[in-house]
Structure formats: structure tokens, C-alpha cells
């Protein structure tokens, strides 16, 4: 990754001496925020105070990203922004399921613990016998959280603001949305009052941090020290007070038994109709609980499939799940959180069925069946399964009742 030398030479001087050289103080370290992020005002305020506390001059670079996509920012776009327009990204979301830890980025400690919440105007109640209309932001963790829930009709909106507005306008009875989006919406629509409750899901819990490119990693200890000082003297709490999850959200956790598995087991009484903007219906797949009484034969796949699946994954999946399956703005697809080494609760066929019906987020279920099978071969290989001579087919992938255990095949 190419980076302008003068910016990081400046950062090196700051770290070594705590002062800026005459003549370059007006430039400072360039700090970007994500395009369209509802927490931009908070991110910039925390950045100003943290860098001031650290004795580092900064300049805000609001146009750091060329992309204005509503389906996330890819690692390539992150690298480009850090190479050309900014040295640090404020408001980077991290979680235990999608923390970007295998990327080349370095992260600060968190300055806001937030997450995805369930939002209503009051008590959400669908008419007897009908599905509850739940809005969620398209191609985000909100969509993954929403499809876990039974007896819903899912309304996918293009932005977090529109997701909140779907509830405010009465278009949806409830929304699953990033909590800072609720705060931002309430600032511009002070007449609206929402009821907030917690979304019980592994995908719901997140922190906002500063992210540094490889050449800016030396800034991280200084910013961490500044954030710790701000936390100790109360300045961080004061800055984030309006953005912090309300106590009611933390106290009103839904019954977690419905979410016993990573994306929930399929249930015969579940109605889950997904409506994409424009009215197109999408039928989701469902994860399948492991049945210990079933045979546990791993479906075979060959190396050619792995190579082709990797290419398909790079084009269709990496933007959200990361180029190395490490998770970015969607969950990781390898490692213990996705495929534990033992006692998996999900089958290979269940994961495949969910993928083939719901992914990629911008074209759910629209790839060729064999392409989905090849991507599944790549996922299996990436999680420790060995390639053989037989070819994995769509039919074999769907039929597999084998638990998805990383490293299960040598």
C-alpha cells in the first residue's frame, strides 16, 4: 500500500517529540470517516479531542472514500483511502464476529460500545395470524439478525436512515438497525420517540474504534493512551453520552432460546418473507440443527472447485466478509466462531442452503447452483477440509447433514 511519506514522517515526529514541525502544523494527520455513517458527528468530535489530548494535529478529510455504496466498504477501498486521502479512519466498527483482525489494519481501543437494536414506536404487535413487518438495512448485520426471527415479513431498506423511517412512517412495525442511526434520526426528527430493545444475536454487539493503516500503526499507542485518559477524566463519557445505548435496551433482552444457534435452526412454524425495495420477494434459506443420529460423511470436493470458488468469493462475497474470510461488515466465514473444531450446531447442508438462498446480499439466490457449490468448496477448504478427486455438486451440498467443524478433515 502506497502512502504519502510526508504525513507519516510528520506522525513519527509527533510520536518522538510530542510536537509538530513548523510549517506543517496546518496539515496534521488526516482523519477520515465512513461515507454516510450516522455516527460521523460523534466520530469527528472524539477524533478532535483524542488527537488534541495526544498532542497530534489533525485535519478531517470528509471525502476520504470515493464510494458511496450502501452495501459496505471493501478492504480495497479502505487501502485506497488510507494510501491517498487519510491516515486514520474514525468510526470503524468492530465485533467478535467481524473484527477485521486479519487485515493489515491496526485498531485503537473502543470509544463507543454500541450495536444493533430493535426499534418500535410502541408495543410492536402484528395482527393475529399475520407476519410482523420488520425493516432492516440491506447487506448489513441488521439483515442477518432479522432473518433469525420467526413469523416476520422482512422489508429491506437501502440505508440505516430509511430503516428507521420505515418504522416512523408506519411502513414497518419494527426495525433492526444500528443504534447510532436511531440517534442521528432523532436529532433531525426530534418529534419522534422510539421504544428501543436489545437484539439478541451474536451479530448485534459492536464497538467503534480508530483504524490505522500499516504506516500509521505507530499512532495507535498514543491514541489509546489519549482515549484512556479521556475515559478516566469523564470527557469520553460526556462526548458519547447521547450515543450510548439506553439502559432499557440492555435490560429488555428478548428470549435468547430462540437464537440458540448462530443463525437459528429452521422451524416449521416460521414464516419469513423478504421484500426487497421494489416489491421483489426473496425466499430465505434456513440453517439446520445438527442431528447426531444422521450419518456424518463429509461431501467431497476437488481443487479446481476450490480455485474457482475463491475467484467467485472474491467478486461476490469478499466486500462484506473480507478477502480472507475474516469478516468486515459481515461475519467471519472461517475459524471457531463460524466452524468450531468440535460440537458444531450447524450442518454443512444447512449453511449451504442459507448461502444459496440469501447470498450474495445484492443478488440473493441468483448465482448458478454449481457456482454456489464451488464457493462452498472454497469455504470448506478454508476451514481445514481436504480436497479430493470428487466434485461437490449443488445436490450433494444441500443433502449434507455433517456438522461444520473446522479442521475436521486432514
Domain segments of the chain as ranges: 5-113+206-243, 285-399
CATH of 285-399, one of 3.30.56.10, 2.60.300.12, 1.20.1730.10, 1.10.760.10: 1.10.760.10
Nearby residues of 135 by Cβ (< 8 Å), 6 or more positions away: 154, 155, 156, 157, 163, 166, 167, 171, 172, 174, 175, 176, 177
Percent of the chain surpassing pLDDT 70: 71
Q: Which of 119-123, 162-166, 177-181, 274-278 has the lowest mean pLDDT?
A: 274-278
Q: Which of 43-47, 178-182, 403-407 has the lowest mean pLDDT?
A: 403-407
C-alpha to C-alpha distances, 296 to 54, 100, 101, 211, 349, nearest whole angstrom: 56, 32, 32, 42, 11
Answer yes or no: is pLDDT of 150 > 60: yes
Q: Give 240-256 pLDDT, tens digit per residue.
A: 999 999 876 554 444 44
Confidence of residue 21 (pLDDT cuts 50, 70, 90): very low
More confident residue, 398 or 75: 398
Q: Is 179 exposed, middle or buried (0-12, 13-18, 19+ CB in 10 A)?
A: buried
pLDDT of the residue at 187: 94
pLDDT of the residue at 34: 86
pLDDT of the residue at 350: 81
pLDDT of the residue at 101: 52
pLDDT of the residue at 250: 53
Nearby residues of 33 by Cβ (< 8 Å), 6 or more positions away: 40, 43, 44, 60, 62, 64, 89, 90, 91
pLDDT of the residue at 112: 96
Q: What share of the chain is helix, strand, coil (3-state, %, to 5)?
A: 35, 15, 45
Q: Give 172-218 pLDDT, tens digit per residue.
A: 999 999 999 999 999 999 999 999 998 877 778 899 999 998 767 78
Q: Give 316-346 pLDDT, tens digit per residue.
A: 888 878 888 887 767 778 877 677 776 666 7
Ordered alpha helix ranges (H), 322-368: 348-358
Taking each helix axis as running N to C, give the angle between helix 160-168 and helix 179-188, from 0 to 180 degrees, rounded to the nearest 10: 60
pLDDT of the residue at 290: 43
Answer yes or no: is pLDDT of 358 > 60: yes
Answer yes or no: is pLDDT of 45 > 50: yes
Per-residue pLDDT, averaged over 140-166, amounts to 85
Q: Return the half-sphere exposure (C-beta side, CA atoms, 13 A cut-off) of residue 163.
A: 34
- The pTM for the full model equals 0.63
Q: Give 81-123 pLDDT, tens digit per residue.
A: 887 888 999 999 888 766 555 567 889 999 999 999 999 997 6
Please state, in angstroms and rounded to a whole number, the distance separating the CA atoms of residues 187 and 366.
39
Q: Are 406 and 383 in contact (CB under 8 A)?
A: yes
pLDDT of the residue at 127: 58
C-alpha to C-alpha distances, 147 to 80, 83, 265, 333, nearest whole angstrom: 33, 37, 11, 18
pLDDT of the residue at 126: 53
Per-residue pLDDT, averaged over 29-39, amounts to 89
Q: Which of 127-131, 140-144, 356-360, 395-399 has the lowest mean pLDDT?
A: 127-131
What is the largest distance, in Å, between two alpha-carbon atoms of the chain? 73
pLDDT of the residue at 244: 93
Q: Return the half-sphere exposure (C-beta side, CA atoms, 13 A cut-off) of residue 201.
A: 24
β-pair partners for 347: 403
Superfamily for 5-113+206-243? Answer: Periplasmic binding protein-like II (3.40.190.10)
pLDDT of the residue at 311: 94
Q: What is the mean pLDDT of the chain?
A: 76
Amino acid at each position: 500500500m502506497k502512502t504519502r511519506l510526508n504525513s507519516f514522517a510528520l506522525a513519527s515526529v509527533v510520536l518522538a517529540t510530542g510536537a509538530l514541525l513548523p510549517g506543517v502544523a496546518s496539515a496534521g494527520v488526516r482523519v477520515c470517516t465512513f461515507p454516510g455513517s450516522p455516527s460521523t458527528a460523534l466520530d469527528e468530535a472524539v477524533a478532535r479531542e483524542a488527537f488534541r489530548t495526544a498532542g497530534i494535529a489533525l485535519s478531517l478529510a470528509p471525502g476520504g472514500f470515493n464510494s458511496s455504496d450502501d452495501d459496505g466498504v471493501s478492504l480495497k477501498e479502505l487501502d485506497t483511502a488510507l494510501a491517498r486521502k487519510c491516515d486514520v479512519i474514525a468510526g470503524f466498527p468492530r465485533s467478535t464476529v467481524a473484527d477485521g483482525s486479519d487485515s493489515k489494519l491496526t485498531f485503537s481501543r473502543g470509544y463507543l460500545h454500541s450495536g444493533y437494536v430493535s426499534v418500535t414506536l410502541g408495543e410492536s404487535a402484528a395482527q393475529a395470524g399475520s407476519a410482523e413487518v420488520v425493516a432492516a438495512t440491506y447487506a448489513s448485520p441488521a439483515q442477518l439478525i432479522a432473518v433469525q426471527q420467526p413469523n416476520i415479513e422482512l422489508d429491506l431498506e437501502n440505508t440505516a436512515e430509511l430503516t428507521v423511517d420505515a418504522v416512523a412512517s408506519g411502513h414497518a412495525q419494527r426495525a433492526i438497525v444500528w443504534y447510532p442511526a436511531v440517534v442521528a434520526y432523532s436529532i433531525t426528527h426530534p418529534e419522534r420517540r422510539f421504544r428501543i430493545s436489545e437484539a439478541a444475536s451474536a451479530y448485534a454487539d459492536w464497538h467503534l474504534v480508530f483504524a490505522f493503516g500499516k504506516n500509521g500503526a505507530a499512532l495507535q499507542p498514543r491514541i489509546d493512551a489519549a482515549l484512556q485518559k479521556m475515559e478516566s477524566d469523564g470527557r469520553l463519557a460526556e462526548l458519547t453520552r447521547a450515543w450510548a445505548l439506553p439502559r432499557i435496551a440492555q435490560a429488555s433482552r428478548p428470549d435468547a432460546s430462540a437464537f440458540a444457534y448462530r443463525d437459528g435452526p429452521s422451524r416449521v412454524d416460521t414464516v419469513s418473507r423478504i421484500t426487497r425495495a421494489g416489491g421483489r420477494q426473496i425466499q430465505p434459506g434456513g440453517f439446520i440443527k445438527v442431528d447426531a443420529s444422521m450419518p456424518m460423511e463429509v461431501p467431497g470436493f476437488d481443487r479446481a472447485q476450490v480455485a474457482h470458488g475463491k475467484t467467485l468469493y472474491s467478486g461476490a462475497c469478499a466486500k462484506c466478509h473480507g478477502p480472507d474470510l475474516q469478516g468486515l461488515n459481515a461475519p467471519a466465514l472461517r475459524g471457531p466462531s463460524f466452524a468450531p473444531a468440535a460440537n458444531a450446531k450447524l450442518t454443512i447442508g444447512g449453511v449451504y442452503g442459507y448461502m444459496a438462498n440469501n447470498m450474495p446480499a445484492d443478488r440473493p439466490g441468483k448465482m448458478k447452483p454449481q457456482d454456489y457449490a464451488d464457493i462452498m468448496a472454497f469455504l470448506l477448504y478454508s476451514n481445514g477440509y481436504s480436497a479430493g478427486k470428487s466434485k461437490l455438486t449443488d445436490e450433494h451440498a444441500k443433502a449434507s447433514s455433517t456438522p461444520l467443524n473446522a479442521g475436521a478433515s486432514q
